[in-house]
Structure 1
Amino acid sequence: MSTESIDSDALRSWRDVKLDARRHNGYVVLVIPDFTASGLLPPGLHRASWSELCAGLGWNARRQSLLEGLGRAALNLRQAGAVAMWVDGSFATGEEDPNDWDAAWDPMPADLNQVDPILLDSSPDGRLRQKAKYGGELFAQIEGKTGFPFQLFFQQTRDGEAKGIVLLNLRTVAQ
């Protein structure tokens, strides 16, 4: 995996982005863009609120079911103080019937004592428990084979093709 193909915006944490009244407009814009011909999000980091993520990726019953589990995991992280989650996997593609979702999160601002212990266990058994309870897998560490943070690792396919992921602002997940 070469670093030239990784979006440099992914290196910035969500908490570094400050929104103010000047950045707001009255237009409704679909934040999550159309998928490419190969069914992937266009390369880059696509910032979204919870409602924008639901609107962009929750178009059928299977996806809505996965969103329910993703939402519970996101809410737990938000309540613990986390602010950012990078969403990937077949869920962040044009696939009609994705198996699950994959996500990474920034544990630095969070109180890990408030995070569901299942979400902190990235062992093979822990990942199975995550899928059973939440419908997906959550990572907070470096990807083992490449040494890249997961939010960067997620931006390439297994074949090295650049692709996009969604950066979910956890502050937008309702309590």
Structure 2
Amino acid sequence: MLPQLISGEFQNQDVLPSGIHDSTFAEFVSRYVFNEHRNWLFQGFKQACLELREAGCRQVYVGGSFVTSKMMPSDWDAIWDPANVDPARLDELFYIGNLEAERVLKFRGDLMLGKARDVATCPHIALFSTTRSGFPTGLIRLKLNQIEMLNS
């Protein structure tokens, strides 16, 4: 179960408490897909997750303004775990760091490759564990269960 959002310094929005919080897709949708704009963003996120899962990815970490109380986030930000991924089954768009604009255009958000086997040492996890002003915030870990994703 996801924790309640807490008051934060992130553009006057509530944020997740610090740490990694596990969530099902259903719980994630229930909490964060609460208006038409967020649903539009989520559909791009879901497509990216389906493509990652098809290539063998088992989990992603979601951070940034999408997992706050912000009504109209501009996008979503996620980090994907490369363990078990077959690179031949995944579009290079997922691997090449300087293709952010293309990823945002296709998926309505950005995915970064998790470059460490241990979550604690992944630089992207550290990046999304604080707001721009340095306020500690949390991330959501989603297991990529294909049946659950298709039903969300």
- State the TM bucket, normalised to the shorter chain: 0.7 to 0.9
Contact 1:122–1:138 under 8 Å retained in 2: no
Residues 1-175 of structure 1: matches in 2 within 5 Å?
31-38=1-8, 39-123=14-98, 126-142=99-115, 148-171=122-145, 172-174=148-150
TM-score when normalising by structure 2: 0.84
Q: What secondary structure does 2:150 align onto?
A: coil
Structure 2 alignment gaps of length 5 or more: 9-13
The 3 A distance-change label for structure 1 pair 130 and 156 is: same
| Structure 1 CA distance for aligned equivalents of residues 91 and 2 of structure 2 | 28
Q: Which residue of 1 is the match for residue 11 of structure 2?
A: none
Q: Which amino acid aligns with 2:67?
A: A
Higher share of residues assigned strand: 2
Worse-superposed segment, 38-47 or 58-67: 38-47
CA shift, 1:141, in A, is: 4.2
Question: Highest CA radius of gyration, 1 or 2?
Answer: 1
CA shift, 1:104, in A, is: 0.3
| Structure 2 CA distance for aligned equivalents of residues 120 and 69 of structure 1 | 17
Structure 1 alignment gaps of length 5 or more: 1-30
CA shift, 1:74, in A, is: 0.4
| Structure 2 CA distance for aligned equivalents of residues 52 and 141 of structure 1 | 23
The 3 A distance-change label for structure 1 pair 136 and 142 is: same
TM-score when normalising by structure 1: 0.74
Contact 1:84–1:170 under 8 Å retained in 2: yes
Q: Which amino acid aligns with 2:2?
A: I
CA shift, 1:162, in A, is: 1.2
- The RMSD of aligned alpha carbons is 1.9
Q: What percentage of aligned pairs have identical amino acids?
A: 30
Report how many residues are paired. Answer: 140
| Structure 2 CA distance for aligned equivalents of residues 157 and 77 of structure 1 | 26
Q: What secondary structure does 1:99 align onto?
A: coil
